[in-house]
Amino acid sequence: MHKILDVIVIGGGQSGLACGYYLRRHKLNFLLLDKEEKCGGAWLHAWDSLTLFSPAEHSSLPGWLMPKSKNLFPLKQEVIDYLCQYEKRYELPIERSVNVENITSENKIFKVYTNKGIYFSKAIIAAAGTWSNPFIPKIKGIETFKGIQIHSANYKNPEEYRNLKVLVVGEGNSGAQIVAEVSKVTTVKWSTRKPPQYLPDEVDGFYLFNVATAKYNAEKEGKPFNAANYDLGNIVIVPPVKEARSRGVLISSGSFESMHENGVIWSDGTKEDFDAIIWCTGFGYATSFLKNIVSADERGIVKTEESKAIEVPGLWLTGYGSWTGYASATLIGINRNAKQTCTEIIEYLKQI
């Protein structure tokens, strides 16, 4: 007989760990499957200088505050260390280097097909995030470019671009931060579809979480919402961005229409050569392993009510951002999302 778990969580990063915390409190028989070889989730792949947007005390998973940092915003390695210590602290059951390839459902039992065999469970939490599904737009001529092309998901540090002419594409936080540090070692241009928009200097990730929560509550109650005209998608003025602003390097060159073997063709028809292009153009959602049990759009979004999948009973998706719960892709924001998800799972398991 195959062992049938109560819940399988797909993903061992911050979202999976938060769900594990609440599943453990409910004393369920569960398992986290993580494709990474070691702890740390998507933070293992982030660029070297990436930091949180909030102080440690406002960037914690449920149950245990992140240790304070000597820096205003915790560094990449500090976040990884926290995630590793968190899973040990709560003795969360995790199997690593497990790549989930497919899932089927029959008679209210899920079969999870992986590179290490088949697992069985009554419920599934998909918490695989976005980092493994980087998005690069289909620009005319992109396949002809002979220089370096990478997505921000694979960017590590500016040294490999020293003395190269670099184009950074994308008007979000990653674009601004990568322009900020690459511009210290070489010539950089910044391409954006619209002029970059910045949040006030005093606004950090904790403020954004509170705004997102207020917006969520207002929408649930059918009330109008005004966030003092702060767009939650605007660039946060973290220290590197502030420093780059003082150097005058955060200047957009606008958008380009197409590419050629040596560079791009700007909207005004001007050709310009570049040695490297860094795409800071966002991510889709890592949900392809659900393809046989639910429908997803081209970005990987599955129809849900909060985090509960509409099409298939017993499936939840957490930590993917606004469509599974406001701020759920953040360390502090996943708390509410994970708690609600696990509460719903308890009720579901009572009924089957």
Query: 3-state class of 237 per DSSP?
Result: coil
Measured distance CA(171)–CA(60) in Å, rounded: 28
Instruction: Catalogue the E-assigned strands of the chain.
Output: 4-10, 30-34, 94-96, 100-106, 109-114, 117-126, 148-151, 166-169, 188-191, 256-260, 263-266, 271-273, 276-279, 304-305, 308-309, 315-317
Q: What average pLDDT does the segment 281-305 reach?
A: 96
Q: How confident is the model at residue 228 (pLDDT cuts 50, 70, 90)?
A: low
> Tens digits of per-residue pLDDT, 87-117?
999 999 999 999 999 999 999 999 999 999 9
pLDDT of residue 2: 78
Regarding the domain with residue range 142-198+235-279, which homologous superfamily does it belong to in the CATH classification?
FAD/NAD(P)-binding domain (3.50.50.60)
Domains 4-133+284-351 and 142-198+235-279 share a fold: yes
Is 123 within 8 Å of 349 (Cβ atoms)? yes
Q: What average pLDDT does the segment 203-218 reach?
A: 64
User: Dihedral (C-alpha) 203, 209, 215, 220: value to the nearest 10 degrees?
Assistant: -170
pLDDT of residue 221: 63
> Is 70 exceeded by the pLDDT of residue 213?
no
Q: What average pLDDT does the segment 55-83 reach?
A: 94
> Tens digits of per-residue pLDDT, 310-331?
999 999 999 998 889 877 888 9
pLDDT of residue 322: 83
Q: How confident is the model at residue 216 (pLDDT cuts 50, 70, 90)?
A: low
> Is 60 exceeded by the pLDDT of residue 345?
yes
Q: How confident is the model at residue 223 (pLDDT cuts 50, 70, 90)?
A: low
Q: How confident is the model at residue 57 (pLDDT cuts 50, 70, 90)?
A: confident
Q: What average pLDDT does the segment 114-125 reach?
A: 97
> Is 80 exceeded by the pLDDT of residue 203?
no
Q: Could you tell me the residue ranges of all domains in the chain?
A: 4-133+284-351, 142-198+235-279
Q: Does pTM top 0.75 for this prediction? A: yes
Q: What average pLDDT does the segment 6-24 reach?
A: 98
Q: How confident is the model at residue 231 (pLDDT cuts 50, 70, 90)?
A: low
- Residue identified by tokens 């002809």 is 144
C-alpha dist (Å) from residue 344 to 29, 184, 238: 16, 49, 37
pLDDT of residue 109: 97
Beta bridge partners of 134: 283
Residue % of the chain over a pLDDT of 90: 81
Q: What average pLDDT does the segment 18-31 reach?
A: 97
- pLDDT winner (highest mean) among 202-206, 333-337, 346-350: 346-350
pLDDT of residue 125: 98
Q: What average pLDDT does the segment 10-27 reach?
A: 97
Q: Is 108 left (phi over 0), alpha (psi -120 to 50) or beta?
A: left
Q: How confident is the model at residue 218 (pLDDT cuts 50, 70, 90)?
A: low
> Tens digits of per-residue pLDDT, 278-288?
999 999 999 99
Q: How confident is the model at residue 214 (pLDDT cuts 50, 70, 90)?
A: low
pLDDT of residue 333: 86
C-beta neighbour count of 345 within 10 angstroms: 26
> Is 70 exceeded by the pLDDT of residue 64?
yes
pLDDT of residue 205: 65
Q: Which CATH architecture has domain 4-133+284-351?
A: 3-Layer(bba) Sandwich (3.50)
Is 61 within 8 Å of 21 (Cβ atoms)? yes
Residue % of the chain over a pLDDT of 70: 91
Query: 3-state class of 171 per DSSP?
Result: coil
Measured distance CA(109)–CA(314) in Å, rounded: 9
Is 296 within 8 Å of 96 (Cβ atoms)? no
Report the mean per-residue pLDDT for the chain: 92
pLDDT of residue 1: 54
Is 205 within 8 Å of 58 (Cβ atoms)? yes
Measured distance CA(83)–CA(282) in Å, rounded: 23
Q: What is the DSSP secondary-structure string of 248-317? A: T---B---EEEEETTEEEETTS-EEE-SEEEE---B--S-GGGTTTS-B-TT--B-EETTEESSSTTEEE
